[in-house]
Amino acid sequence: MSALFALWSVTGLLAEVPTGVLADRWSRRGALVLAGVLEAAGFVLWTVAPGLPGFAAGFVVWGIGGALVSGAGEALVYDGLAAVGAEGSYVRVHGATTATELLVQVPTALLAGVLVGAGGYELVGWASVATCLAAAALATRFPEPPRTGDDDEPDVPLRRAVSTALRRPGLRSAVVAVAVLGGLDAIEEYFPVMAREQGVATGLVPAAVLVVALAGAAGAALAGRAAGLPARALPGLLLLSGGLLAAGALWGHPAAVAAVAVSYGLYLAVLVVGEARLQERVPGPVRATVTSVAGLGIEAASLLVFGAWALGGAPAVAVLFAVTAPLVARGLRRPVVT
C-alpha cells in the first residue's frame, strides 16, 4: 500500500507542471474534461483488475488526472469571472468550492456504505466510474473565455513566459507563501490519530473527524469575509490556528477536538484567501502553469508536515504554522495602489 501511495505521489509531482503547461497552451476546460475521463479510467482498472499491477496502473492514471485539475481549475474559474468583470468574487466562489469539497464527503460516505451492502466492491467501483464521467460531462459546460492573440503567441516559449511572470513584483513571494501554506493541509491526514490520542473512543473517531471537516468547510465558506480583514490579520489567524492545534494536541480530552476543529477552520479561511491573492497576481496566459508551480510546492511542503509529525507530533506541526506566518505576511499582502 505504501509503495502504491508513493507511486501516486511521484506521478502527481512529475505531472504537475507539464499538465499546467498543457492547460495554458491547449484548454483549461479541456484539461478538466480529460481529468474526469482519466480518473474514470483509474476506477475501471481498480474494478476489473484489483491486484497490484491494476492498482499501480490506476494510481498512475489517477495521478495524471489529479494533476490536470490542479492549476487548470483555478485558472478557468478566475479567468471566467474576470471575463465578466467579477474577479473580485473569486475568493467567495473559491471558498464555496472548497467548503463543498469537504461537505460532499458526508453524503458520499453514506452512499458508499449502501452501495457496498447492495453490490459489494464492484458496484462501488462502477458507480465511481460513472461519477467521474458525469464530472467530465459537466466540465464541458464550463464557459472558457476566448484566447487573445498574446495568449498563444508561438514565438514566445511558455517557459520564458513563466520565468518572466515569476519575476513580477510580489508574484514569486506569493507562490512561495501559497506553497508552504498549502502544504500545511497535510495535517488533515492525522486528524483520526489526534482524535484517538485525545481519548475519543475508536467507534466515534469518524464522527470526531467529521466535526473537524465541517469546521473546515465553515472556515472556507467565510473566506470572503476574511479577505476584507486588515493585512496583519492573515498571519495572525494562522498563528491562532497553530496555537489551537498545539493546545488541542496537548489536552488529552475528547473536548480538545473542538480546538482542533476551530484551528482547521481558521487555517482553511487563510488558505482560500491566500490562493485568491495568488490568482490576483498571475498573468492570464500562464495562470494554470504558475498555479501548478505553486501546487508542486504544496506537494513538497507537505513533506515538512510529515517530517514534523514524525519528530514531535501535532505540537511540532504547530511550529510550522508559526514559521509560515511571516511568509504569509510578506507574500500575501495586497499591493499598494497609487
Rounded-to-integer distance, Cα 32 and Cα 66, Å: 9
Q: Which residues contact 112 (CB under 8 A, 6 or more apart)?
A: 124
Grid look-up 504558475 returns 290
Confidence grade of residue 80 (pLDDT, cut at 50, 70, 90): very high
Q: How far are the Cα atoms of 30, 73, 328, 332, 334 from residue 40, in angstroms, in the given order?
A: 15, 18, 37, 36, 40
Q: Is the pLDDT of residue 337 over 60?
A: no
Instruction: Write the pLDDT tens digit of every residue in 35-59.
Output: 999 999 999 999 999 999 999 999 9
Predicted local confidence at residue 299, as pLDDT = 87
Q: How far are the Cα atoms of 69, 84, 113, 136 from residue 26, in angstroms, in the given order?
A: 14, 22, 39, 17
Instruction: Write the pLDDT tens digit of every residue in 160-211.
Output: 667 776 788 788 999 999 999 999 999 998 898 888 888 888 888 888 889 9
Confidence grade of residue 158 (pLDDT, cut at 50, 70, 90): low
Predicted local confidence at residue 200, as pLDDT = 86
Rounded-to-integer distance, Cα 130 and Cα 37, Å: 10
Predicted local confidence at residue 245, as pLDDT = 95
Q: How far are the Cα atoms of 111, 250, 267 from residue 256, in angstroms, in the given order?
A: 30, 9, 17
The structural domains of the chain, ordered by start, are: 2-143+169-329 (1.20.1250.20)
Give the mean pLDDT of the chain: 89
Q: Grid coordinates standing for 184? A: 500545511
Instruction: Write the pLDDT tens digit of every residue in 1-25.
Output: 778 888 888 898 899 989 999 999 8
Predicted local confidence at residue 53, as pLDDT = 94
Rounded-to-integer distance, Cα 164 and Cα 277, Å: 19
Q: Is the pLDDT of residue 217 over 80?
A: yes
Predicted local confidence at residue 324, as pLDDT = 95
Rounded-to-integer distance, Cα 2 and Cα 140, Å: 35
Mean pLDDT calculated for residue range 140-166? 67
Helices 90-103 and 205-221 pack at an angle, to 10 degrees, of 170
Predicted local confidence at residue 218, as pLDDT = 96
Rounded-to-integer distance, Cα 211 and Cα 261, Å: 7
